[in-house]
With several copies, the nearest count.
Chain A
Amino acid sequence: MQTVPHRLVTIIAERHLRDKLVDAVHRLGATGHTLTDVAGEGSRNAGGGRITGANIKLETIVAPAVAEGIAEHVAERYFQHHSVIVYVQ
């Protein structure tokens, strides 16, 4: 896992996007992922807090190219209307 260079991609999103995002990252080349229940506030705050199930944090360690792809996909598909952020480390 440590040998080749890898990137950690972190996505924080409304809970109801969870399964879609998990499918997407695997489709885009991830071999695994880790999910954490989180709460948060942002510029949109589309999430209704616990009523709509707070947020989830999706982390996946992938090759740089894959990271690119995931970040782009999330940005295109979700930034406009959904409470989502993504960052690559």
Chain B
Amino acid sequence: MLDVLLASLLSPVVLAFVLGALAVVVKSDLEIPAPLYKTLSIYLLLAIGLKGGVALSTTPMAEVAGPVGAAFALGILTPILAYGLLRRLGRMDRTNAAALAAHYGSVSAVTFIAAQSVAAFAGTPSEGFMPALVAVLEVPAIVVALLIAYARGERAGSWREALMEVATGQSIILLVGGMTIGWIAGEEGTASVSPFFVGGFQGALTLFLLDMGMTAARRLRDLRDVGAFLIGFGIGMPIINGALGVWAGQMVGLSVGGAAVLGAMVSSASFIAAPAAIRVGLPEANPAYYLTAALGITLPFNLTLGIPLYLTLAGWLA
């Protein structure tokens, strides 16, 4: 456990996240320009899409089918689980419970990428086709959560629009688009772009996590608004989902690294695709809840303790 924890905590990407948080704590005038944030997220999504597509082009479908099925199942299951917990234990109203369920059922690409690089850093790289699972995991949970919400009375938002929002959201477009390009162009076709998309990847991720650290720290200030239960949920839910993910990963025959990364994916809370969809589909839900929980609590937890935990779990189960 400890060595994995260290391997993770001492990797540049995680240290950059911590540095970003510190910069906010000491009220530094450091600012990541918004266009840089956007550029990095476009780059990272396209890059993992490309990598995944190239990997898919050389992986027998049979090998991918199991993990894809598992990811899909977890994308249906986890939002229901989250909704139940929030309603029963948290006594949270339907709207906000559904909104949070969408976020915790969906996936955070950053957490996935960080997990992937920490797993590699720890000597247990994950399967090349993992990015495909991100795409599979992103959508269903949001659909399920909206179904739950709309099944219960009038809604201010639009159900169709919300689905369009997810389906055509930048993360799906870039991930699936990147995968298609990678899959079509294949290993040699993408060779010319790999210095940019592969070589530069870890460095760009470092800058991105510096920014995420700042965003997370700013969100932390809103903790008082969200209450003790949500804080507990923001840590407990990822542990449960992470364990589920690791276990499922093992079941479908993923490597230790692969199972751990799947765990990290399932445990993570979306803060790009889900918020966009929820603002459209459930505008009456309070963003202070889902954004603070996803960005201020679950993201930092996963980047620091969560990922090593899932790696260790995967090691034990193996």
Assembly CA distance A37 to B34 (angstroms): 11
- Measured between beta carbons, the chain A residues less than 8 angstroms from B165 are 16
Indicate if the CB atoms of B295 and A81 lie closer than 8 Å.
Answer: no
A27 in the interface (beta carbon within 8 A): no
Indicate if the CB atoms of B215 and A50 lie closer than 8 Å.
Answer: yes
Indicate if the CB atoms of A52 and B156 lie closer than 8 Å.
Answer: no
Q: How does the 8 Å CB contact mask read for B17-48 relative to A, with 1 for contact and 0 for none?
A: 00000000000010000100100000000000
Assembly CA distance A49 to B38 (angstroms): 12
Task: Report, as a range, how many residues of chain B touch the other chain.
Answer: 20 to 34
- Measured between beta carbons, the chain B residues less than 8 angstroms from A50 are 34, 37, 215
A59 in the interface (beta carbon within 8 A): no
- Measured between beta carbons, the chain B residues less than 8 angstroms from A37 are 34
Also in contact, A51 and B34, with CB within 8 A (given A16-B29, A45-B288, A46-B279): no
Assembly CA distance A80 to B271 (angstroms): 23
Indicate if the CB atoms of B215 and A54 lie closer than 8 Å.
Answer: no
Residues in A24-76 with C-beta less than 8 Å from chain B = 37, 45-52, 54
Indicate if the CB atoms of A51 and B279 lie closer than 8 Å.
Answer: no
Min CB–CB distance B156 → chain A (angstroms): 5
Indicate if the CB atoms of A52 and B215 lie closer than 8 Å.
Answer: no
Indicate if the CB atoms of B280 and A51 lie closer than 8 Å.
Answer: no
Assembly CA distance A50 to B10 (angstroms): 28
In this complex, which of B34, B165, B283, B295 has the most chain A Cβ atoms within 10 angstroms of its Cβ? Answer: B283
Indicate if the CB atoms of A48 and B37 lie closer than 8 Å.
Answer: no
Min CB–CB distance B283 → chain A (angstroms): 4
Indicate if the CB atoms of A48 and B291 lie closer than 8 Å.
Answer: yes
B287 in the interface (beta carbon within 8 A): yes
Indicate if the CB atoms of B283 and A81 lie closer than 8 Å.
Answer: yes
Assembly CA distance A80 to B156 (angstroms): 9
- Cross-chain contact of A52 among B157, B276, B283, B288 (Cβ < 8 A): B276
Closest to A14 in B: B279
Assembly CA distance A52 to B288 (angstroms): 13
Indicate if the CB atoms of A16 and B276 lie closer than 8 Å.
Answer: yes
Indicate if the CB atoms of B215 and A51 lie closer than 8 Å.
Answer: yes
Min CB–CB distance A17 → chain B (angstroms): 9
Assembly CA distance A56 to B156 (angstroms): 22
B284 in the interface (beta carbon within 8 A): yes
- Cross-chain contact of A48 among B34, B156, B275, B284 (Cβ < 8 A): B275
- Measured between beta carbons, the chain B residues less than 8 angstroms from A51 are 215, 271-272, 275, 291, 295
> 9 A-B Cβ contacts within 8 A?
A16-B279, A45-B287, A48-B291, A49-B215, A49-B218, A51-B215, A51-B271, A51-B272, A82-B279
Q: Which 8 A-B residue pairings sit nearest by Cβ, starting from the closest? A: A81-B283, A48-B291, A81-B156, A81-B284, A50-B34, A46-B287, A52-B275, A50-B37
State the A residues within 8 Å of B (CB).
14, 16, 37, 45-52, 54, 80-82
State the B residues within 8 Å of A (CB).
29, 34, 37, 156-157, 165, 215, 218, 271-272, 275-276, 279-280, 283-284, 287-288, 291, 295
